Amino acid sequence: MFTGLVEAVGQIGAAEDGPEGRTFSIEAPFAGELALGQSVAVDGACLTVTGV
């Protein structure tokens, strides 16, 4: 159950299928503040930042 606060709303810029799964590019106002390895909740699922 999600109990956090929504800080911003973004949108998916691209989605690509690869050998290790699907990769999403997400456009959000805070994207420039992220670092590799951080987690971002997207629709309740925690995703790991692999590129900025």
- Is the pTM value of this prediction over 0.85? no
Instruction: Give pLDDT, residue 26.
Output: 87
Q: Which pLDDT value is given to residue 51? A: 87
Q: Using the 8-state DSSP alphabet, how is residue 36 labeled? A: T
Dihedral angle at the C-alpha atoms of 7, 21, 49, 31, nearest 10 degrees?
-50
Q: What CA–CA distance (Å, rounded) separates 35 from 47? A: 13
6-51 pLDDT per residue, tens: 778 888 899 999 998 999 898 989 888 889 999 888 877 888 998 8
The DSSP element (H or E) to which 39 belongs, if any, is strand 39-42
pLDDT at residue 16, rounded to an integer: 94
